Amino acid sequence: MESSKPGNTKLWLLAFFFVSSMVVNVYFYYNNSFSLASPFLRLSWTTKAATEAEIVAAIDCSEHGRAYLDGVPVNGVPMCECHNCYSGPSCSVLASNCTADATTGDAMFLEKYWLHHRINTAVLESGWHRMSYFIGHNFMSDELDKHIRLLHKAVGNAKVDDKFLVFGNGVTQLLNGVIISLSPNVTATPAAPIKKVVAYVPYYPVFKSQTKFFNFRGYEWKGNASDYVNAPNPKDYIELVTSPNNPEGLLRKSIIKGSLAVYDHATYWPHYTPIKYTSDEDIMLFALSKYSGHSGSRFGWAFVRDKAVYDKLTTYMATNSEGVSRETQLRTLKIIKEIVLQINQHKGTVGDFNEYGYTTLRNRWIKLTNLVAQSNRFSLQKLSPEYCNYFKRVRDPSPTYGWLKCEWKQDTDCSAVLQNGNILTQSGVRFEASSRYARLSLIKTQDDFNQLMERLSILVKAKQTSASEEYNYEMDRERSIERPFIYGGDQGSYGSF
Amino acid sequence: MESSKPGNTKLWLLAFFFVSSMVVNVYFYYNNSFSLASPFLRLSWTTKAATEAEIVAAIDCSEHGRAYLDGVPVNGVPMCECHNCYSGPSCSVLASNCTADATTGDAMFLEKYWLHHRINTAVLESGWHRMSYFIGHNFMSDELDKHIRLLHKAVGNAKVDDKFLVFGNGVTQLLNGVIISLSPNVTATPAAPIKKVVAYVPYYPVFKSQTKFFNFRGYEWKGNASDYVNAPNPKDYIELVTSPNNPEGLLRKSIIKGSLAVYDHATYWPHYTPIKYTSDEDIMLFALSKYSGHSGSRFGWAFVRDKAVYDKLTTYMATNSEGVSRETQLRTLKIIKEIVLQINQHKGTVGDFNEYGYTTLRNRWIKLTNLVAQSNRFSLQKLSPEYCNYFKRVRDPSPTYGWLKCEWKQDTDCSAVLQNGNILTQSGVRFEASSRYARLSLIKTQDDFNQLMERLSILVKAKQTSASEEYNYEMDRERSIERPFIYGGDQGSYGSF
């Protein structure tokens, strides 16, 4: 037989290599396409942007920073933007004894989740994408509207079917919009009584600063809601209710019965609090910043029961900024779709975004409470394990902020005590509470949290001097004179989130 | 010799195929990477997003619509969003005799340019991109700040080196911010006199509607600037100056000498007007919507000379929305970089964005003026060819809007006459001008422009009835009673751009 000849062996060998090579060809061809859609589609005009994104993502910042596509370039490559206390071209240099920053509610603890889910949350758009003013209804994407409602149904934190939905550039923009929408237009005759805007102490400082800044003729800031509990005309009051409350994380309800209540539910999500009921208030505000951690996207939303308020709020959004950036709406859709997908597949277990957020913050809270318990210098708000309708189990506390109290008699200005110990916080005074309190943000990067714990452990272990005594609880009732909230160019003036 | 044997011929042939196949393999390997950066980088986590974008971009909408990533899906694929008068799954069905819409300044005429420049303007970002509140300075990207200044230097329309730059969610948001920043905080004692906000007729309707809507205690709307030319205290006046003016496109200056002038330069770009000088005003506003056509991005910027005004305006931006979406800033950077790149390579010729914009609108203006000249029924604003410092040549007019006047005596409400002829416009009344005028937007899609021309040609060719006469010019001085600007949910209420 011919097959025994040496020439034929070579022939078969070469034929084998040829076929193998063809298989590799076919592999390369298909590998470069997206098999779910069309096996024959190959990338063309998107390759440049995709490659740029991968190059920037691969820049080494030592896990202590990150490089971004629009970072300031050094030698043509965006430089690493380092976490607090880190520096150097790859953020590898740790400054000794630098100041920890626990001021802002910048939910960067969620970044790691999104790094793991980078494939499903990537989005590519080119110059021609949605150039027009017009999208969906009232400048709002119908798909995003739908998926926000799906998210609330999957989480169970709000009843949304019977309400209108309005998008804003963060809750910040919607907040003033809602207050304006509930207030009269005082140029009309006869003028209705102007609204009194109030919040129960301690409250989110932006309520006061923003209301005073915009100084609308139809409303005025009137301070602590507890001063008006028995007001004869409760409908003249717009009561801003943060639930869970900022700073201390307790679930709240309006305290002026019959007032126009606005619920800021920015942290009413399973990361931060047990979901104890499906909220069904007339006006409810939510924010991407605290839920998914995308503070930079400036995306928030309001659920509104009343059609007249909805109409005025959409007019506010049109008049203020003609709605929300359409590219932000696209990205938010991607983020929310991924969260809902993972809830459907992994609810309450590894992979579920809510489980990730909760576990991370629970661990931080355990560490912080254990540290503070080591001496009598500080105390924290009391939070108990509670049943959560989302996880369907009792969950430990995992608050957004620590509401720290200085217990030593001489430590009357707690924020200053902490600053002397190289920790930046927000003073209780900003919340119209006592200066004995300071707010510690627990939701920033792991580096931020580690620095906070290191600096705080030194303060906790410090011995009380002979001159000092245990704190006299009578003093807690004396409110410090409020320090004015200064507007200005420094970062500190924006640190109210 | 062995080479003459048939087996050896097969051997050589197979060897040839094998080598060819290997070459193809190598081609595939390298073709899938970005050679400028690293020939060995292959796409991984970006492939899905890039493929999704290409699939959506390839959806056929017959050049009369477009499909977008966040479009409403039908059978899993985003449906085509059709231009006015078109419908059907691929926008191929043209309704007969439908109504042309020339109301809004939605600069979709620029979309075709961006379709051609889709490679350089594509941007890919994943879930972890810029999650934080903090970017650059005051929530503003340093790279974008730099490239906006480079753009103005390349175009020569504004002197920017000695001024602060503030980003906003469109000029709309900045406009109210600037007015608030120039006005006193009336809760302070002693209160300064509140500011009077004015604009010279005909003016952009949003000036009035927005100022009245936000109803800030430190200002009040006072109407036509021409009523206050000799006011004793010009510093009490904030004069809003649109230049080129909306509606008619003439370059303007403040008419109240010594007033606080705010220049809305949204269309002071070579598409729309000759660049006759480098503007150097104290406050100048610009918008992506009119310049690049990205109205949906909601991006505008203000140049401010005075540090105190800058500080207050950045506080306004922080208090109103904590700045502008970071993904919008990234995309805007991409767009502006591409414009500057093309100016540097092709200034004044094919490829230059400004040349594209100018040529398109010049051609439209020629067609419109030729049509209107065919009868005595309508007239348009008079615009002359003028020297342009950017193109370094005399250029023809190419305005944003036609400011159409109805000349027949019976056509007292020009917008209604046009609406009866199936053309939607904005009535001159909204600009505090006569109802004999109507504004026609000339910057929408080619389909929109074609529909406008078709409907208008019918009106132009119509014969005057025996009852009607030539328009009596005396009537022009009688202002119609102003129709109130109604806020509400319908799209018409947002149609002031």
Proportion of chain A above pLDDT 70, given as a percent: 85
Which structure tokens are listed for A255? Answer: 């305290």
The length of chain A in residues reads: 497
Please check whether residue A397 lies inside any domain of the structure: yes
DSSP string, B321-346: HSSS-HHHHHHHHHHHHHHHHHHHHH
Is B24 in Cβ contact with A43 (below 8 Å)? Answer: no
**What are the chain B neighbours of A171 within 8 Å (beta carbons)?**
none
Question: Of A31, A57, A126, which is closest to B122 when you measure between CB atoms?
Answer: A126
Same domain flag for A329 and A361: no
Residue with tokens 């970002």: B125
Same domain membership, residue B182 and residue B58: no
Q: Which of A37, A176, A328 sits opposite B328 (nearest CB)?
A: A328
> For A162-218, where are the alpha helices, taking DSSP H only?
170-182, 206-214
Q: Give CA–CA dist B110/B269, Å, rounded.
A: 13
User: Nearest CA to CA, how far is A222 from chain B (Å)?
Assistant: 13
Are A122 and B121 inside 8 Å of each other by CB? no
Query: Residue written as tokens 């009584």?
Result: A193
Given a cut of 60, whether residue B397 has pLDDT beyond it is yes
The bridge status of strand A300-304 relative to strand A283-287 is antiparallel
pLDDT of residue A262: 98
Q: Distance between CA atoms of A198 and B186, rounded to whole angstroms?
A: 20
Residue A168 sits in the same domain as residue A183: yes
pLDDT band at A12 (very low <50, low <70, confident <90, very high): confident
Nearest to B7 among A7, A138, A319 (CB): A7
A367-388: pLDDT as tens digits = 999 999 999 999 999 999 999 9
Separation CA B474–CA B462 (nearest Å): 24
Contact B124 A49 (CB under 8 A): yes
B11 and A15 in contact by Cβ < 8 A?
no
Task: With beta carbons under 8 A apart, name residues in chain A contacting B6.
Answer: none
pLDDT tens digit sequence for B224-256: 999 999 999 999 999 999 999 999 999 999 999
Q: What mean pLDDT do residues A243-272 have?
A: 98
DSSP label of A122 = -
Q: Identify any residues that bridge with A439 across adjacent strands, giving them in sequence order.
A: A403, A426
Nearest C-alpha in B relative to A494:
B318
* Same domain, residue pair B181 and B317: yes
- Contacts with A118 from chain B: Cβ below 8 Å: 45, 126-128
The answer on B253 and B165 residing in a single domain is yes
What are the tokens at A399? 């608050």
Closest approach of B21 to chain A, Cα-based (Å): 6
| The pLDDT of residue A464 is above 90 | no
A323 and A362 both lie in a single domain: no
Paired with B379 in beta bridges are B405
| Cβ separation A488–B7 shorter than 8 A | no
For residues A410 and A336, membership in a common domain is answered with: no
Output the six-digit token pair for B443: 């910057």
The answer to whether position B38 is within a domain reads no
Give the pLDDT band of residue B465 (cuts 50, 70, 90): confident
Instruction: Tell me the per-residue pLDDT of A415-462, one tens digit each, with 9 for 90 and over.
Output: 999 999 999 999 999 999 999 999 999 999 999 999 999 999 999 999
pLDDT for A453 equals 98
What residues of chain B lie within 8 A of the CB of A24, using their CB?
A: 21, 25
Residue A186's pLDDT is what? 84
Interface contact flag, A491 B134, Cβ < 8 Å: yes
Which whole number is the average pLDDT over B392-407? 98
Look at residue B2 in the predicted model and tell me its pLDDT: 43
Q: Which residue of B has its CA nearest to A77?
A: B37
- Residue of chain A whose Cα is closest to the Cα of B43: A51
d(CA A79, CA A68): 8
Asked if B88 and B192 sit in the same domain, the reply is no
Report in angstroms the alpha-carbon separations of A477 from A192, A223, A436, A480, B308: 37, 17, 10, 9, 39
| Residue B489 maps to a domain | no
Q: Predicted confidence band at B21 (pLDDT cuts at 50, 70, 90)?
A: low
Instruction: Pick the closest to residue B494 from B202, B300, B295, B294 (CA basis).
Output: B295
Tell me if B37 and A21 make a contact (CB, 8 A cut-off). Answer: no
Residues in chain B closer than 8 A to A218 (CB atoms) = 215
* The predicted structure's pLDDT at residue A483: 33
Instruction: State the CATH number of the domain containing residue B87.
Output: 2.10.25.30
- Using the predicted structure, report yes or no on whether residue B488 has a pLDDT greater than 80: no
- Quickly list DSSP for B71-113: SPEETTEEPPEEPTTEESTTS-EEPTTPPEE--S---GGGHHH
The reply to whether A22 falls in a domain is no
Mean pLDDT value across residues B10-21: 70
**A222 within domain boundaries:** yes
Q: Which of A291, A315, A346 is the last residue of a domain?
A: A346
Q: What is the pLDDT of residue B35?
A: 37
Domain identity same for B57 and B174:
no
User: Is A5 within the bounds of a domain?
Assistant: no
Average pLDDT, chain A: 90
Whether residue B493 is predicted with pLDDT greater than 80 in this model: the reply is no
Whether residue A481 lies inside any domain: the answer is: no
Residue B337 with chain A: CB contacts under 8 Å:
none
**Interval B123-177: pLDDT, tens:** 999 999 999 999 999 999 999 999 999 999 999 999 999 999 999 999 999 999 9
Distance from CA of A236 to the nearest CA of B (A): 19
Q: Do B71 and B146 share a domain, yes or no?
A: no
Q: If 0-12 CB within 10 Å is exposed, 13-18 middle and 19+ buried, where does residue A351 land?
A: middle
CATH number, position B431: 3.90.1150.10
Name which residue leads in pLDDT, A490 or B413.
B413
Instruction: Specify the amino acid at residue A232.
Output: P
The pLDDT-based confidence of B41 (bands split at 50, 70, 90) is: low
pLDDT of residue B13: 73
CATH of the domain at A242: 3.40.640.10
The whole-angstrom distance between residue A435's C-alpha and the CA centroid of its chain comes to 26
Determine, yes or no, domain membership for A487: no
The 3-state DSSP class for residue A456 equals helix
Question: Half-sphere exposure of residue B92, counting CA atoms within 13 Å on the CB side?
Answer: 6
Contact residues on chain A for B46, CB-CB shorter than 8 A:
50-51, 53-54, 122, 124
pLDDT band at residue A97 using 50, 70 and 90 as cut-offs: confident
- pLDDT at position B357: 98
Phi, psi of B71 (to 5 degrees): -70, 160
- What value does the mean pLDDT take over residues B68-72? 98
Q: What is the DSSP string of A372-402?
A: HTTSSSEE------EEETTTTEEE----SEE
Contact in structure between B304 and B116 (CB atoms under 8 Å):
no
**What pLDDT score was predicted for residue B97?**
87
Please provide residue B412's backbone torsions phi and psi, each rounded to the nearest 5 degrees.
-75, -30
Show which of A346, A377, A412 is a domain's final residue.
A346
pLDDT average, residue stretch A14-22:
69
Q: Using CB atoms within 10 A of its CB, is residue B315 exposed (0-12), middle (13-18) or buried (19+)? A: buried
- How far does B271 lie from chain A, in Å, by closest CA? 17
The lowest-confidence range among A24-28, B36-40, B198-202 is B36-40
What pLDDT score was predicted for residue A37? 39
Q: Which domain holds residue A396?
A: 353-463
pLDDT at B29 over 60: no
> What value of ipTM does the predicted structure carry?
0.89
Show the tokens assigned to A125: 């758009």
Is the domain of A202 the same as that of A340? yes
Question: Do B126 and A121 make contact, defined as CB atoms within 8 angstroms?
Answer: yes
**pLDDT exceeds 70 at position A25:** no
Which among B295, B333, B494 has CB closest to A132? B295
Q: Are residues A171 and A278 in the same domain?
A: yes
What's the pLDDT tens digit per position in A139-181?
Answer: 999 999 999 999 999 999 999 999 999 999 999 999 999 999 9
Q: CB count, 10 Å around CB of B387?
A: 12
Stated pTM of the model: 0.89
- Nearest beta carbon to residue A331 from set B28, B299, B327: B327
Give the mean model confidence (pLDDT) for residues A30-39.
Answer: 41
Q: Give dist(CA A16, CA A20) in Å, integer.
A: 6
Torsion-angle region of residue B373: left (phi > 0), alpha (psi -120 to 50) or beta? Answer: alpha
Q: Which residues of A fall within a CB distance of 8 Å from B53?
A: 46, 123-126
Give residue-wise pLDDT tens across range B349-386: 999 999 999 999 999 999 999 999 999 999 999 999 99
State which of B315, B346, B377 marks the end of a domain. B346
Of A54, A121, A206, the CB nearest to B44: A54
| pLDDT computed for residue A469 by the predictor | 53
Q: How confident is the model at residue A26 (pLDDT cuts 50, 70, 90)?
A: low
Q: Provide the number of structural domains found in chain B.
A: 3
